[in-house]
Chain A
Amino acid sequence: MRPAQRYDHAGCATAGILHKGGQLINGEAIIEAIATMRERGNGLGGGFVGYGIYPEMKDYYALHIMYDREDYRQPVERYLERALLLIRSERIPTRPTPGVGLAPVFWRYFGTIPPNEPRPAGESDDDYMVRVVMRINLEFEGAYVVSSGKNMGVFKGVGYPEDIGRFFRLEEYSAYLWIAHARFPTNSPAWWGGAHPFSLLQWSVVHNGELSSYGINKRYVEQFGYRCTLLTDTEVFVYLLDLFLRRQKLPWEIIPIILAPPFWDQIYRTDSAQRRALLTAIRQVYGAGLANGPFSIIIGHPRGFIGLTDRIKLRPLIAARHGEMAYLASEESAIRAICPSPDEIWEPLAGTPVDERLFEEVVL
């Protein structure tokens, strides 16, 4: 059940692995990496996102929906049958797992937008899906959309991540990009929806830290029709991404600048007038999107991931490369657990993104 209307603070661990050649990696690897950092979580939240897990359904939106109880499912499905052209609906396979308590019910739905659905002029399919997701989260009791992108999906819950991974039988999935999270919530409602990753359409985010700026980040995205319903600060990152990347079509490189902009004195020292003007304008216009407070995040998207820490590096992040693999984690040990001798391993600068992508020639 979603707890009372308050949002929740959390410490955490994050890890991500990407095969830049698009080769699929079994879910075991990411479980191994995140389990290394067990100390960073407290067993009250673990989760994963895999990109490339539904290749045979890659043209359809994949909705992962969590129902607090079985009887909340029917109203949502009645709505979905109207709102989408569903190709397949099925229960997400799970297994009873020690360490994972009473679980909600998870279903997934693959579908497209019905062709004759009346829609506002100029609305894209993605816009339509965002409306569907917001509506379910806001209006249907006991139902939460966990992910809604294509050829990807989020698996998360209350427990240590390695247990959650087994619960969702992740060894049966393969992905070219996996991102995982272990959670240490400070207040401890057993709230499955509060686990990371958070995801909307193709974007997903895991987050270590807490947003001191959440109040204004939330009010900013609300101006654009997003509704923060999942009671944690991390959710807002996803809406910021969707707003900036998909709706406002800002280049990728701008995202880290909005979230963790250079300090003014750095901007004043920037030699290039063109760059200075750009940075100044970003701070002037997107100040409400600045993610203030300690964070390290991994942003997942269909072409790769971005790792980013806050401007004064209050949360850890380590990056590594080995052959065609790219890694990110809160601790070096998590990377070494699955890649003992990486070609390169480094600590990214504060506020400076690690932007790893699939090779350009990789066709998904």
Chain B
Amino acid sequence: MELHAHHLHYREVNQWLRRCSQDGIHHVTLHGIRGQRYIGTGLNNSLRIHIHGTAGNDLGAFMNGGEIIVYGNAQDGVGNTMNAGRIIIHGHAGDVVAHSMRGGTIYVRDDVGYRAGIHMKAWGDNPPLVIIGGTARDFLGEYMAGGTLIVLGLHDPSAPLVGSYVGTGMHGGVIYLRGTIAPYQYGKEAGLQPLTPDDWEYLQRTLAPFCEEFGFDLEAVLDHTFCKLVPLSRRPYGRLYEGAVGAVSNHS
């Protein structure tokens, strides 16, 4: 099924999507999307949505299954509090990608903006995965509590891979970076580590479908320095609050 959505309000677009879903349709295509918000928000089944145009804010928010593929760019808030399913963006995405994402997968072919993966967390057996083909800006993985963020920087070798304040307050999950990161760029709660054989094996397995989706050469992608950031502690703020449970006492 196809819909030319150029002049439609987001409510009309989403109502049409819900009807398709109820009718048991598995593939739909939206044309002429121009900033309509909330597309696929709360999506809860196996519907596969192809979007042509610029997807509006909160694409796939609270998504709980199914798949969204954008042929174009996405704006802010992609996969906000997403629980399951997959979002693929053949373009770039704006700020706050994967905010509080708890499960599912997001692929972004190009760059993402500020605060990608902020407060991502893992719950149950479906930990979230975000792979960014281009670069990410400041506050990537800020207070990350679980899941995996991968930033590849495949497009412009001169562009900084990530900004500053990466993984500040990180207390779970892992961030893989294809390249290096200077100490001032990441938070004191995160630790920089080289990759283990297990990590390489994981990346190989995880990046294969990503590369296939966008036509990247997996071997070339992997033939590069990688590093990873992991939390130094699950409780980074032990000495901050006096008298709290688990707080360090200073009384002798």
Given A269-B184, A316-B94, A345-B73, residue A333 in contact with residue B113 (CB < 8 A): no
A13–chain B nearest beta-carbon distance, Å? 10
Q: Are A312 and B56 in contact (CB under 8 A)?
A: no
Please, which residues of chain B bring their CB within 8 A of the CB of A266?
164
A39 touches B94 (CB 8 A): no
Q: Does A350 contact B (CB under 8 A)?
A: yes
At the interface, yes or no: B189 with Cβ under 8 Å from chain A? no
Within the complex, what minimum Cβ distance (angstroms) separates B188 from chain A?
12
| Segment 311-364 of A: residues with Cβ below 8 Å from B | 312-313, 316, 318, 331-334, 336-337, 345, 347, 349-350
Is A18 interfacial (CB-CB < 8 Å)?
no
B137 located at the interface, meaning its Cβ lies under 8 Å from any Cβ of chain A in the complex: yes
| Any B CB within 8 A of the CB of A123 | no
Interchain nearest-CB distance for A113 vs B (Å) = 46
**Is there contact, CB below 8 Å, between A316 and B138?**
no
| Nearest Cβ on chain B to A332's Cβ, whole angstroms | 5
Smallest Cβ-Cβ distance to B160: which chain A residue = A349
* A contact residues around B48 at 8 Å (CB): none
Report if A280 contacts B (CB, 8 A).
no
A333 CB contact (under 8 Å) in B75, B138, B184: B75
Per the bound structure, the CA–CA distance linking A37 and B56 in Å amounts to 10
Known contacts A265-B184, A269-B184, A333 near B94 by CB under 8 Å: no
Residue numbers in B under 8 Å from A336 (CB-CB): 34-35, 53-54
Contact in complex: A349, B57 (CB < 8 Å):
no
A333 and B94 CA atoms in complex are apart in Å by: 12
Question: Known contacts A313-B114, A331-B57, A332-B73; is A39 also within 8 Å of B37 by CB?
Answer: yes
Main secondary structure of the interface of B (DSSP, over half): loop
- Determine if B62 is an interface residue (Cβ-Cβ < 8 Å): no
Residues of B close to A36: CB separation below 8 A:
34-35
Residues A331 and B138 in contact, CB atoms below 8 Å apart: no
Of the four ranges (under 10, 10 to 19, 20 to 34, 35 or more), the interface on chain B belongs to: 20 to 34
Contacts of B139 in A (CB 8 A): 312
Map CB proximity to A onto B75-109 as digits: 1 under 8 Å, 0 otherwise.
11000000000000000101100000000000000
**Residues of A contacting B138 in the complex (Cβ-Cβ under 8 angstroms):** 312-313, 350
Distance in angstroms between the alpha carbons of A34 and B162 in the assembled complex = 32
Within 8 A of A (CB), among B182-221: 184
- Minimum distance in angstroms from A254 CB to a CB of chain B: 23
Residues of A within 8 A of B115 (CB): 313
Using Cβ atoms and an 8 Å threshold, which residues of chain B touch A269? Answer: 184
The docked-state distance in angstroms from the alpha carbon of A350 to that of B36 is 25
B137 & A333 in contact (Cβ 8 Å cutoff): no
CB distance from A305 to the nearest CB of B (A): 21
Residues of B within 8 A of A350 (CB): 114, 137-138
Contact, CB under 8 Å: A332 / B35 = yes
Give 1 or 0 for each of B15-55: 1 = CB within 8 Å of chain A CB.
00000000000000000001111000000000000000110
Bound complex: CA A337 to CA B35 (Å):
9
In angstroms, Cα B36 to Cα A334, docked, is: 11
For window 242-292 of A, CB contacts with B under 8 Å fall at 265-266, 269
A266 to B54, CA, bound (A): 34
Nearest CB of B to A317, in Å: 10
Q: In the complex, what residue of chain B is closest to A311 when comparing beta carbons?
A: B138
Interface residue from A37, A316, A345 paired with B95 (Cβ < 8 Å): A316
Q: Which chain A residue has the least Cβ–Cβ distance from B35?
A: A333
Q: Are B184 and A334 neighbours in the complex by a CB distance under 8 Å?
A: no
Is the CB–CB distance between A334 and B94 below 8 Å? no
Across the interface, do B94 and A347 meet the contact criterion of CB distance under 8 Å?
yes
Query: Which of chain B's residues has its CB closest to A316's CB?
Result: B76
Taking the closest CB of chain B, its distance from the CB of A213, in whole angstroms, is 20
Looking at the assembled complex, report how far the CB atom of A26 sits from the nearest CB atom of chain B, in whole angstroms.
Answer: 21
**In angstroms, how far is the closest chain B Cβ from the Cβ of A70?**
39
Interface residues of A (CB under 8 A from B): 36-37, 39, 265-266, 269, 312-313, 316, 318, 331-334, 336-337, 345, 347, 349-350
What 7 A-B pairs come out closest when comparing CB atoms?
Answer: A333-B35, A313-B114, A333-B34, A333-B54, A332-B54, A347-B113, A336-B54
Binding site for A on B (CB under 8 A): 10, 34-37, 53-54, 56-57, 73, 75-76, 92, 94-95, 111, 113-115, 137-139, 164, 184
6 contacts between A and B (CB under 8 A): A36-B34, A313-B137, A331-B35, A332-B35, A334-B35, A336-B35
Additional pairs, 13, CB under 8 Å, beyond known A266-B164, A313-B138, A350-B138: A37-B35, A265-B184, A313-B137, A332-B54, A332-B75, A334-B35, A336-B53, A337-B34, A337-B35, A347-B92, A347-B111, A347-B137, A350-B137
